[in-house]
Structure 1
Amino acid sequence: MWRRFQLICAAVGGAVGFLVFGAMLWGGLNRSGRSWVGGTEFVVDLTMMSVSAVLGVVAVLAAVRRGNQVRRAEVTTWLSEAQGTAVEAATMRLRALSRNAGFSAAFWALAFLVAATSIATGAGAFTGFAAAAHMLAVLVSVFAVPMSLAAMRGWGRRYRAVRRTGWHATKSVDVRRPDGGPFEPAVITVEFQDGSVIELRTVESTYRAGHKEGQRLLEAWVGGTDLSMVVLFENGPLRRGAYPVPVRALGARIPPGEVRPPRSARTG
């Protein structure tokens, strides 16, 4: 999932580069006309715009391929639908997160259309702060729209999964980042009340578990299956109250009594 996130970032970077150098190319043509074609600045802008477009397309194709590989690697987590607890407020919050992400995507899509249309129809009139504000809105929208759509789809999928399984209370929770990187996905080892264990890994989201690393006596609930799971912590990093962290299973749930592999092997 971390590699897929890097590919998505590369694709977004390619799109931003294409927009930036395309705008510079368009502005130069409007400012200087055909006499500008063939000059050094024209060649540089055209080359960088083309390279950015190729980077974006290649990264998108690689991310889609990576996503298909991840989906083919789904595992059985054995969360019993009969034994789960219905925590309605927490479950409905997942639905609210999906809805809010959809509103965010719609807002930024509208901002992109307004800013891009204004730039296209009145570029000559834009100077200084106005030009910078419109360009900033376009650039932010390029990032925000796909990320918000992905969040909407992801939280909606987790909401449906948790509705099926309910929430399962944990006996112990261990959060760690194997390499210690600040933006590294956290690995969460969960032991349930019956002694069974499952390994989870956080996915790309603004709801993260890194701040829980090293904490003892963590209280949490787990719901969902396979790639659509959620760890519900008691408190978040900045406020008290239920804090849902999206995760995916790294392997099947280990029944009580089975020998667990060494931690180094499980995190490798």
Structure 2
Amino acid sequence: MVEGSDLVSTVLPGTDRVPGATGSLLRSALRQVATTVLVLGVVVLLWIAALRVWDVSPYVGKTPAEVWTSLFGDADSAELRAEIWGLLQQTLVDAAVGFAAGMLTAIVLAAVVVRYRLLEGAVMPVAVVLQTVPLIALAPILILLVGRGYAVVALMSAIVVLFPALVNIVAGLRSVTPQMRDLVLVYGGSPSTVLLKVGFPSALPALFASVRIAVPGALTGALLAEWLATGKGIGYAVVSAANRSQNTRVWALVVAITLTALLLYLVAQLLETAVLSRFGRAAVRR
């Protein structure tokens, strides 16, 4: 009976590192970094253009230069940066809790759905309902059920993350061909062996696609949870500053969380490139 890495190598040929993979990995990483920088530049240009085209009042709309000055050029810049850093740390913790809860739930449910097809009719409708019902409508019920701690943060972020990740991972697990499945069964493996030893390696591209989607989703869920439930982090700080007409602070907070989301997305891309190149897959996103 073939087990472990031998089985993966038999069913998924080419999983050893290919020649020149290091150079290809480096070029791919540099290309992804350059793309992120280019996207950031385009966003800044669109930001400036939007303020001018719609003739937004300078009191409300702040330019990139004004946000930069508030963060790095004023006498109070150090205090503002320290405050934003503290708020950002809280939001990152909240997003990490939601990301972990959502991804782990999606992986477990995907494995159950693929392994036991009869349960798909019970799992998928619930996931669809959670995705379609506005989170702001669910928030009061969730707060009543679990309170205003990390449990509600995990639930709200996980709801945002769950459905896209579940659909992607299920599709990835089902990408196992009949030939692959039959080979494992011939060597004495069980359907669970097919899922663990062949299904999950085959689903790695879909899994990392889910991670890329889940990163901004977890941040969005964390911001909503902070605004609606916990009263902490950047999510609450943005609403509080807007209510007090502290518009420069609002823009600085939004820029901080946006840059953080871009950075985390880039990290997810680089991790995907490194892992998939290890398995001899395409190391570059389509």
TM range (shorter): under 0.3
Higher strand share: 1
- TM-score, reference length from structure 1: 0.28
- TM-score, reference length from structure 2: 0.26
Larger relative contact order, structure 1 or 2 (CA cutoff 8 Å, min sep 6): 2
Higher helix share: 2
